[in-house]
Structure 1
Amino acid sequence: GGIIMGEEGIREAYEKGRGRIYLRSKTTIEDVRGGRQQIIITEIPYQVVKSRLVTAIENIRLEKKVEGISEVRDESGREGLRIVVELKKEVDAEGILAYLFKKTDLQVAYNFNMVAIVNKAPMQLGLRELLKAYIEHQKEVVTLRTQHDLAKAEERAHVLEGLVKALQILDEVIATIKASKSRQDAQKNLVVFFGFTDRQADAILTLQLYRLTNLEITALENELAEIAKKITQLRSILGDEKKLVSVIKKEMLDIKKDYGVDRRSIIQSEVEELKVNLQVMVNAEDVLVTISHEGYIKRTSMLSFTRSGGEIETTGLKEKDFIRFLLEVNTLESLLIFSQKGQYYLLPVHQIAEYKWKDIGTAIVNLIPIAKDDRIIKVIPVKDFNEAGKSLVFVTRKGQVKRTELKEYMTNRSTGITACKLQQDDEVIDVMLSENTKDILLVTKLGMAIRFKEDEVSVMGRSAGGVKGIQLRDDDEITSALWVFGDEGEILVVSDLGYAKRSLLLDYPLQGRGGKGVVTFEFKEGKRVKPNGSKMVKAFYVKQDYRLTAFLSNGEQSTFSTESVKIEERKSIGKSVIALGKDVGIVDIIHHS
């Protein structure tokens, strides 16, 4: 029973000998009391074992792979098959059914591979060729069978002819047998005196006496007449191909009459695409996801976070570890995780193990196969990969910029995939989610900055390498990439020796992509001048106050507010915001938005 889906698969199989169809169970969704629904299964695909199917659905319920199944019952009986999947209130019955079609044998695929032995060799045949090969084979089978039947009939007719002849001269035959010395002598005498063959003479000698009655004599004569008719019929089959084909046809019709049953399955022209809504499998919940510097990840409920005091600092971490990424997301979202080597991984939020806020979590390598010598540089939550206008902008250490539509990063693979093609000795430093409404501002290690419109970067393919964002000196590189808009806000830059400043965004004019840019930090030079740094560590876009954490080369941390950094001219030396000891520098700075 069930529903066959895919006329095209049937057509392809019949034409080429290879194809695929899908066989789906017959199901209905019924409303029951209390505002609930239930899925009723009345027919299942061929060769699917009902008990195993019921067990599979029950396991899905027990393991909570689907939210919303309350009970699974087998109510099959004399009236036929009936499996009931009872659902909870206010759940997506269609979505749950789609999931069951996809994950159980409620729907199965059947592959056609029609191979027959033709001329002693296996061949894949379409239906027309298969029927032709079968008919030729049946001709051979019926011919051999007819030849065998004819040989047996002719042998029997030969014996009967001898018996009838012997009965016609019975007295002479009996006298000859009585006068013979032995059975062998009698057989020889019958051949010599009456012209019988050895086979006929042997049959005469084995004839039982009761068959000498008039009734038996008539029976032998009738049998001989019937055998003669049969021989004529068999010879005509062997001598006329039309009669041979008619025999095959009659036998096929007899098989149809004895075993033919109406098709139980309904044929549906198109194969329905199964789209399983994530909400069917996952309970939608707002959560916090943290990824630490040492690579520990966890998902925490908002309730656990609140009960732990609602402070980020109270999270569980190993000694000297710190939070690198803090994300407020929903369990229905996915995380795009990008590495400095240009790889990316897609990790659904619901697949991250849930921990209490004060737990450390699990190593992220247990969830994504990131290499030991690679490092995560950005994590972007995504609700809808097909959202119009969304794209990703990649910025590399050597100043390359690439823009690609977000939808190209949708994948079902769990392994790393190329997100951006990199030149030798280059690496990705940032990935930004774009709506094509802002400007890109790049800041370099030697204190240069360039601002250009995002649409100057053409949309490229996922594995493309990008275009030049800024013209760099040989000893320079990009440290930060920022989204900016209009003239509001400031650009905050920090050097490796703890000098920082804010300068107005309006002091950063729009330029063409690929230029040298403008100075954003003036490094002090001279033997008698106290240095303010040798390189830029990080830059930030500031529109309202937030806190930054600096990580020092001696393993310590220092936190400061963006408001504590003075506003100065764009081309200025900045002021010390972090007191550093001798030979101590800043290696990195982060903030949690």
Structure 2
Amino acid sequence: PVVDEIDIEDLIEEEEVVVTLTHLGYIKRMPVDTYRSQRRGGRGVTAQAVRDEDFVEDIMTTSTHDNILFFTNQGKMFKLKGYQVPEAGRQAKGTAVVNLLELAPGEKISTTITLREFSDDKYLTFVTKNGMIKRSPLSDYDTNRKNGFWAIGLDEGDEVIRVELTDGNCDLIIGTANGMAIRFNESDARVMGRTARGVRAIRLDDGDSVVGASVVKDGTRLLVVSEYGYGKKTEFDEYHVQNRGGKGVLTYRITEQTGRLAGISAVTDEDDIMLITDAGVIIRLHTSDISTYSRVTKGVRLMRLDDDVKIVSLARTEREEDDEEAAAPESELQADGAAEDDSEE
């Protein structure tokens, strides 16, 4: 055959790999066996030469032949095959993702999704900071463009907070800085073209913005964390399905002590959560150590902060079993809980 007809992928052995992406944007690929032995060996996935304020945010078990989709806050999508992510050893930092993807200044990756094929029965569902939602067929995003392409139309000042791969009948929950949350079925948002800006997901008060969104899945609870280090988990049963575009319900009782919400995430008790402050301090907590409270409460103190320091974001990641520093002392969480438990209010 003519050389041009040979697909380069056919020349690359298919193998199961783990791709990790760090908070500061370093990416690498490892064979699954290397990754698993690293997990057993003590400090787990953070045992790599990253800067102190960096950590692994996305852990993708995938194949060298699978697609990795990168969605940015500015509304673009980039695609790499698993084999296009440079392989690196256990201790290596990896490659700066800006060397692989043409990111603009200030452009950050907000979501990664891995998949084998662009099937017709799946959707990409986008949620933005200004409360918009857009749902498009996954098949609209099958592209080989090297420099990325627009995945959603954004208004001035808006940005992508989260992208979910959905099946047409998922419930979504969206949380805001002022402590509101709305749950609705994705079918409430009609399917639109790739560059559409979408429809209203939640009606925001002046000054409010979306801080997180998740698909509601069995076995998960909603974790919310406030700027000043308070948080809790709440059962999803407490959030009734509503119509899209409403104000939602109160999910967090904001006080001067707690500050506004910094983020939300659906979590299981097998996850870890990373809390990131504007001073560059990071704390890792086991989600199983965080108490469950009813919807209209403030929860307990998860992290003690210096004055003028705020939590700016949170990231859900894989549990680290053997890292003794991973979880805050349970006694502290429980003691704070006893002192500041307002689950009755």
* Category of TM-score, reference length = shorter chain: 0.7 to 0.9
- Separation in 1, partners of 2:227, 2:221: 20
1:377 is paired with a residue of what secondary structure?
strand
- Cα distance between partner residues in 1 of 2:60 and 2:88: 15
Q: Who is 2:5 aligned against?
A: 102
What is the DSSP-based 3-state SS (H/G/I as helix, E as strand, rest coil) of the residue aligned with 2:274?
Answer: strand
Provide the rounded CA distance (Å) in 2 between the counterparts of 1:388 and 1:363.
Answer: 33
2:228 pairs, out of 467, 487, 497, with 497
Letter of the 2:29 counterpart: R
Q: Secondary structure at the match of 1:442?
A: strand
Contact persistence 2:278–2:312 (CA under 8 A): yes
Q: CA deviation at 1:590?
A: 0.9
Is residue 330 from structure 1 mapped to residue 63 from structure 2 by the alignment? yes
Which structure's CA Rg is the greater one? 1
CA distance in 2, matches of 1:319, 1:102: 47
2:263 corresponds to which of 529, 538, 553:
538
Q: Which residue in the other structure is 2:35 paired with?
A: 305
Which residue number in structure 1 is paired with residue 12 of structure 2? Answer: 282
- Return the alpha-carbon distance in structure 1 between the equivalents of residues 304 and 99 of structure 2: 39
Partner of 1:519: 250
Deviations 1:122-152 (A, max 9, x none): xxxxxxxxxxxxxxxxxxxxxxxxxxxxxxx
On the 8 A contact 2:173/2:215 being kept in 1, the answer is yes
Q: TM-score, normalised by structure 2?
A: 0.86
SS at 1:592's partner residue? strand
Match of 2:332 in 1: none
User: 1:545/1:591 Cα in 2 relative to 1: closer, same or farther (>3 Å)?
Assistant: same
Partner Cα separation in structure 2 for residue 334 and residue 474 of structure 1: 39
Q: TM-score, normalised by structure 1?
A: 0.51
Report deviation, 1:309. Answer: 5.2
Q: 1:339 to 1:517 in 2, by over 3 A?
A: same
2:269 partner SS: coil
| More strand by percentage | 2
Deviation at 1:330, TM superposition (A): 0.6
Larger relative helix fraction: 1
> In the alignment, which residue of structure 1 is the partner of 2:277?
552
**Is it true that 1:421 corresponds to 2:153 in the alignment?**
yes
Structure 2 residue runs of 5 or longer lacking an equivalent are: 319-345
Q: 2 CA distance for matches of 1:286 and 1:519? A: 43
- The answer to whether the 8 A contact 1:397-1:429 is kept is yes
Q: Could you say which residue in structure 2 is the equivalent of 1:320?
A: 53
Partner Cα separation in structure 2 for residue 502 and residue 416 of structure 1: 37
Q: What is the count of residue pairs matched by the alignment?
A: 315
Give 2:123's aligned residue. 391
Cα pair distance change 1:383/1:353, threshold 3 Å = same
Alpha-carbon contact 1:496-1:537 (below 8 Å) kept: yes
After superposition, where does 1:65-84 map in structure 2 within 5 Å? none
In 1: Cα distance, 2:142 partner to 2:36 partner: 33
Larger RCO: 1 or 2 (CA < 8 Å, sep 6+):
2
Contact persistence 2:19–2:28 (CA under 8 A) = yes
Q: Which of 473, 479, 490 pairs up with 2:211?
A: 479
RMSD value, Cα? 1.8
Counterpart-to-counterpart distance in 1, 2:69 and 2:282:
28
**C-alpha separation in 1, matches of 2:38 and 2:251:** 42
How many Å apart are 1:485 and its aligned residue?
4.4
C-alpha distance in structure 2 between counterparts of 1:277 and 1:416, whole Å: 20
Question: Alpha-carbon deviation of 1:285?
Answer: 0.7
Rounded Cα–Cα distance in structure 1 between residues aligned with 2:186 and 2:39: 41
CA change 1:307–1:470 in 2 (3 A) is closer
Give the residue type in structure 1 aligned to 2:164. M
CA contact (8 A) 1:551 1:558 kept: yes
Work out the CA distance in 2 between the residues paired with 1:577 and 1:319: 21
1:510 aligned onto 2:238: no
Q: Which whole-Å CA distance do the structure 2 matches of 1:573 and 1:554 have between them?
A: 23
Q: Write the deviation string for residues 204-251 of structure 1: whole angstroms up to 9, x where unpaired.
A: xxxxxxxxxxxxxxxxxxxxxxxxxxxxxxxxxxxxxxxxxxxxxxxx
CA distance in structure 1 between the partners assigned to 2:217 and 2:94 by the alignment: 37
Unpaired segments ≥5 residues, structure 1: 1-96, 104-275, 525-530
Cα deviation for residue 350 of structure 1 reads 0.7
State the 1:349 CA deviation: 1.1
Task: Note the C-alpha offset of 1:101.
Answer: 5.4
Report the AA paired with residue 82 of structure 2. V
Task: Map Cα deviations across residues 248-277 of structure 1 (whole Å, 9 max, x no partner).
Answer: xxxxxxxxxxxxxxxxxxxxxxxxxxxx48
Does structure 1 residue 572 correspond to structure 2 residue 288? no
User: In the alignment, which residue of structure 2 is the partner of 1:295?
Assistant: 25
